[in-house]
Amino acid sequence: MTIEEQIKSLQDELRQHNYNYYVLDNPTISDYEFDMKLKHLQELEAEHPEFADVNSPTQRVGGAVTKNFETVRHGHRMYSLDNSYSKEDLLDWETRIKKLVDGPVQYTCELKYDGASISLTYENGNFLRAVTRGDGVQGDDVTANVKTIKSVPLQLKGDYPPKFDIRGEIVLPFEGFNKMNEERVEIGEEPYRNPRNTASGSLKLQDSAEVAKRPLECLLYNITGSGLNIKTQFESLEKARAWGFKVPDAAKLANSIDEVLEFIAYWDVHRHDLPYETDGVVIKVNSLQQQDELGYTAKAPRWAMAYKFKAEQVSTKLLEITYQVGRTGAITPVANLEPVELAGTTVKRASLHNADQIEKLDIRVGDTVFVEKGGEIIPKIIAVDFTQRPLQSQPTQYITHCPECQTPLVRQEGEAQHYCPNYNGCKPQIIGRIQHFISRKAMDIDGLGGETVTLLVNAGLISNYSDLYELKKEDVLPLERMADKSAENLINGIELSKSVPFERVLFALGIRYVGETVAKKLAKHYKTIDALTKATSEELINVDEIGGRIATSVISFFASDDNQEIINRLTSFGLQMSLSEEQLANQTDKLEGHTFVVSGVFHTVSRNELKKLIEDNGGKVSSSISSRTNYVVAGDNMGPSKKEKAEKLEIPIISEQDFLKMII
């Protein structure tokens, strides 16, 4: 054997042992033998660096140090999941599904692992990259750290596709977690609170050799990519397993919601025997074709549903109610609790939402309350334990004045929230609004963070977002912890934001109820800020999906002289206050007033491109056929019941080609 062959053969052998041990839980050699072979390989690779391989088993020991984790955009967005808590919720979901797809629906039931979600990219069978979920659109590149997790295959086996992403969860099994804690206590450190936070914290450690010491595991459940030749979710789990991934074998197929409920009932009891934390079950429509038809909401797939196991509950004492002021001036009451352990974390605060909620619970300082933690990070107060109420207890008086600026609060008819109306003089509002302005989905100003905004406002350097554009490097340099380089980045970031497109500027203004989607709609419809400023309430309401509440808020925003002045300044600084030439060029009114339903598989354009074309040309996309539908654009495999419905309502069914002709 040549040296190269020796190295290759040792790599293969160790890879197989790794797999046996960490994926199959079935080692066939002793740890000692393994270590000896690994050491031998390390020596050979060190002597012959020309044969080293970034995905060699020797690379799992770590050593690479990451100072800053690079931000990476996900090839496909990582969505969150909708939650359900009862049989009724699941039946409702089934009803919604059956409206949108035809034929029988099968479900894959999986456990919902409670860890840190991760996306792994493979190319030609080699592990290329690992990225955290982040905000779903982009996450942090944690490749060096994930490489040290032994159940993550660095090289795949079998008949894998040339390129794909696979998603899963990095978990810390209880046993390893407890062991880590024992060691920490021994050296006089605080024990970690819970496995999930420790798992996600581990991914962000700078020294990968430290990560290598932690007994993390990676459980996989979702393959994404194109040309995969996979037809169902269940099949994808089997394939992933065959390629060498650790895919838990709890997954099961169900033919009905009743069978799903059986799965849930079983695991509600048996989950306590699992080596790691689970907080529910994830149910997915099995057919990928049906998944495609169902698509996504802004936040989650319509084809999947999480079922949360009943949350744990504890009781504790309410010490005080404090009030927070948000960027829109909305007041949120917060319950300050006697610290209590709940589902692995210490709970000290809980949101009370609004005055109605306080009244409904009849909650008072000094009360003993029941606190519950569902999947959410923020715990909820479920009820007051009236048997424990102190005799002299008095009903809670909601505040009448802003805790920050003492302005009398207002509460509009039909609204749950109290507001501080001191729009331009209330600190948290001023700061919050600027923080929103610079945030990633708005102006996305690099080099400027929320805390710096607070510093800038407190130093009197800015009092609204238009002031940002007059900041000079000399102004910001004296700020706390502001180095020369960061001051420069800040100023550059502000300058660059001048090219952010109009719809995001509109969103950044922070008009109440104008979120991302509404901002897009308004930008598209009015095209310039001047036109929008002049819009009347009736006109606004006539814009698709704009209701009275939004219209009133938009009108009152532009009616303010202060806001007008700010907008004039932003315009003079060169921000995008209208759609660009390019945006305008792609948009027409050709489909104005027409509603389309899209069904089946397309060839020239993808389903999403088709929808975008409809919207760009002024049409509307709807997900189900009704008498208000004008056209059904049908691709291959259009569902028979959709077809029947369209025919019954005499709605024209057109092909992809017919459609494309409409917009030329």
Which residue from 45, 94, 110, 140 is in contact with ligand AMP, where contact means CB under 6 A? 110
- Span interacting with ligand AMP, options 34-42, 112-120, 266-274, 656-664, rule CB under 6 A: 112-120
DSSP string of 190-256? PPPS-HHHHHHHHHT-SBHHHHHHS--EEEEEEEE-SS----BHHHHHHHHHHTT----TT-EEESS
Report in angstroms how near the CB of residue 348 gets to ligand AMP at its nearest. 22
Q: How many CA atoms lie within 13 A of 596 on its CB side?
A: 25
Which residue from 27, 366, 375, 403 is in contact with ligand AMP, where contact means CB under 6 A? 375
The dihedrals phi and psi of 195, each to the nearest 5 degrees, come to: -60, -35
| Residue 630 touches ligand AMP, criterion: CB under 6 A | no
Tell which residue, 81, 85, 107, 83, has the closest CA to residue 94.
107
At 36 the three-state DSSP class reads helix
Which residue from 113, 192, 323, 557 is in contact with ligand AMP, where contact means CB under 6 A? 113
DSSP string of 324-368? EE-TTSBEEEEEEEEEEEETTEEEEEEE--SHHHHHHHT--TT-E
Q: Residue 80 binds what, of ligand AMP, Zn ion, none (CB under 5 to 8 Å, by partner type)? A: ligand AMP
Q: Output the CA–CA distances (angstroms, integers) from residue 525 to 217, 224, 578, in the order listed.
A: 50, 35, 11
- Span interacting with Zn ion, options 188-196, 417-425, 454-462, 588-596, rule CB under 5 A: 417-425
Q: Residue 375 binds what, of ligand AMP, Zn ion, none (CB under 5 to 8 Å, by partner type)? A: ligand AMP
In the bound state with ligand AMP, the residue whose beta carbon lies nearer, of 375 and 493, is 375
Which residue from 45, 165, 169, 277 is in contact with ligand AMP, where contact means CB under 6 A? 169
Q: Which of residues 200-229 bind ligand AMP (CB under 6 A)?
A: 221
Round to whole Å and give the CA distance between 514 and 252.
43
Q: Residue 253 binds what, of Zn ion, ligand AMP, none (CB under 5 to 8 Å, by partner type)? A: none
| Residue 330 touches Zn ion, criterion: CB under 5 A | no
Report in angstroms how near the CB of residue 81 gets to ligand AMP at its nearest. 4
| Residue 402 touches Zn ion, criterion: CB under 5 A | yes
Q: Which of residues 303-362 bind ligand AMP (CB under 6 A)?
A: 306
The residue annotated as part of the active site, out of 112, 150, 284, 642, is 112
Q: Output the CA–CA distances (angstroms, integers) from residue 364 to 60, 358, 401, 420, 573, in the order listed.
A: 55, 8, 19, 23, 51
At 75 the three-state DSSP class reads coil
Length of the chain: 664
Q: Does 112 participate in catalysis according to the annotation?
A: yes
Q: Output the CA–CA distances (angstroms, integers) from residue 261 to 97, 234, 265, 364, 493, in the order listed.
A: 17, 18, 6, 39, 52
Query: How many chain residues interact with ligand AMP (CB under 6 A)?
Result: 12
- Span interacting with ligand AMP, options 2-10, 106-114, 345-353, 547-555, rule CB under 6 A: 106-114
Q: Residue 113 binds what, of Zn ion, ligand AMP, none (CB under 5 to 8 Å, by partner type)? A: ligand AMP
Round to whole Å and give the CA distance between 249 and 251.
5
Q: Output the CA–CA distances (angstroms, integers) from residue 652 to 146, 528, 624, 661, in the order listed.
A: 52, 35, 14, 15
- Span interacting with ligand AMP, options 111-119, 256-264, 497-505, 528-536, rule CB under 6 A: 111-119
Report in angstroms how near the CB of residue 37 gets to ligand AMP at its nearest. 34
In the bound state with ligand AMP, the residue whose beta carbon lies nearer, of 80 and 368, is 80
In the bound state with ligand AMP, the residue whose beta carbon lies nearer, of 221 and 465, is 221
The dihedrals phi and psi of 274, each to the nearest 5 degrees, come to: -75, 155
Alpha-carbon torsion, ordered 617, 623, 629, 635, to 10 deg: 80
Q: Identify the bridge partners of residue 321 per DSSP, sorted by sequence position.
A: 335
In the bound state with ligand AMP, the residue whose beta carbon lies nearer, of 83 and 486, is 83
Interface positions with Zn ion (CB under 5 A): 402, 404-405, 407, 420, 422, 426
Interface positions with ligand AMP (CB under 6 A): 80-81, 110, 112-113, 117, 133, 169, 221, 282, 306, 375
Active site residues: 112
